[in-house]
Amino acid sequence: MAAYILRRLWQMVPTLFGVILLVFFLFKFFGGDPAEILGGLLATPEQIQAIRQQLGLNDPWYVQLWIFIKSIFTFNWGNSWATSEAVSNIFATRMPATLTVMVPILILEVILGIIAAMAVAYVRGSLTDRAVMIITTIALSISFLVYIIVGQWLFGFYLGWFPVQGWSDSFVTNLTTYALLPILLATAVSLAPQTRLYRSFFLDEINQDYVRTARAKGLGENTILFKHVLRNAMIPVLTNIAVQLPGIFVGSFLIETFFSIPGLGREVLLAVNRSDYPVIQAVTVYLAVLTMVINLIADLLYKAVDPRVVLK
């Protein structure tokens, strides 16, 4: 196990180096001139040149690359070009809001998705199964933006059950008041794709030979489904969760924008609109690192779920 972890960590080095080079050269040679963007249309050539000098854009590319690499490993990205706020402070102050909303969404959609999928798989082929598949298909065909607009109007303005916007310094108040409506809406919307996906995982396992053998031995359907099928289906479920986890740290752009949640997702969207390269680069690189780490953790969990898995 230790040798496998060390080998995987070593394999991350060239991947991370490739990500660093890709991000740097994409922003360096294919993006717009940050000095012109920050200076605006009325800036004179002298002002643009002064901005380039201040940002270090006149240095040779290899000098800028070295500064970029140092900023990654020292966690010092300097200040935002648009607001002059330290990038590290942006992460520290925006991340809690994103986690307050996105972590409950992930937990609820996984748990409820597994329960709903198992229930549908239990009555597979029945009228209930077909009805659920039709409903989930219709739900998938509607944009998430529609759910947000309708949910805000119905539960916020018409019924007055939840506030539509707002945020405070209290975690409990945010979780139980301001974040409750976006959590409920996002969870409800995610149930459709999660139910269909997890149902397919369970049905694949139900059709395996070991299930027929278990039935031949006289095991009940509940025992087969909850003890054997669920455990064997957890590997693709863990894979799906690992794919979703990095998105937590960026958050949902629509949720944070429409509900005025001061999270990292909305900050990234603002940074893109303002061409705030330090913020965008920091989020991109750290998200790549987080994705690699989560994939490693998922591989280790495969072994915990199914001891037959061999880590090579």
Q: What is the pLDDT of residue 128?
A: 83
Look at residue 102 and give its three-state secondary structure. Answer: helix
Q: Apex CA 82: angle with CA 79 and CA 88, to 5°? A: 30
pLDDT tens digit at each of 312 positions of the chain: 677 778 777 888 888 888 888 887 877 776 666 666 666 666 677 777 777 776 676 777 777 788 788 888 887 777 787 777 888 888 888 888 888 888 888 888 888 888 888 888 877 778 888 888 888 888 888 888 888 888 888 888 888 888 888 888 888 888 888 888 888 888 888 888 888 888 888 888 777 777 778 778 777 777 777 777 777 778 888 888 887 777 766 657 778 888 888 888 888 888 877 777 788 888 888 888 888 888 888 777 777 776 666 666
Q: What is the pLDDT of residue 139?
A: 85
Q: At what angle do helices 144-151 and 180-206 cross, to 10 degrees?
A: 140
Phi, psi of 239, rounded to the nearest 5 degrees = -60, -45
Phi, psi of 89, rounded to the nearest 5 degrees = -70, -35
Say whether pTM exceeds 0.85: no
Q: CA-to-CA distance for 102 and 260, rounded, in angstroms?
A: 14
Residue range(s) occupied by CATH 1.10.3720.10 in the chain: 98-305
Query: In the structure encoding, which two tokens stand for residue 74, read together?
Result: 């020292």
Q: What is the pLDDT of residue 36?
A: 65
- Short-list 68, 67, 58, 56, CA closest to 22: 68
Q: What is the CATH topology of the domain spanning 98-305?
A: MetI-like fold (1.10.3720)
Query: In the structure encoding, which two tokens stand for residue 121, read together?
Result: 């798989």
- Short-list 251, 49, 261, 104, CA closest to 167: 261
Range 202-210 contact pairs with CB under 8 angstroms and sequence separation of 24 or more: 202/117, 202/118, 202/121, 202/229, 202/230, 202/233, 203/121, 203/124, 204/233, 205/229, 205/232, 205/233, 206/121, 206/124, 208/232
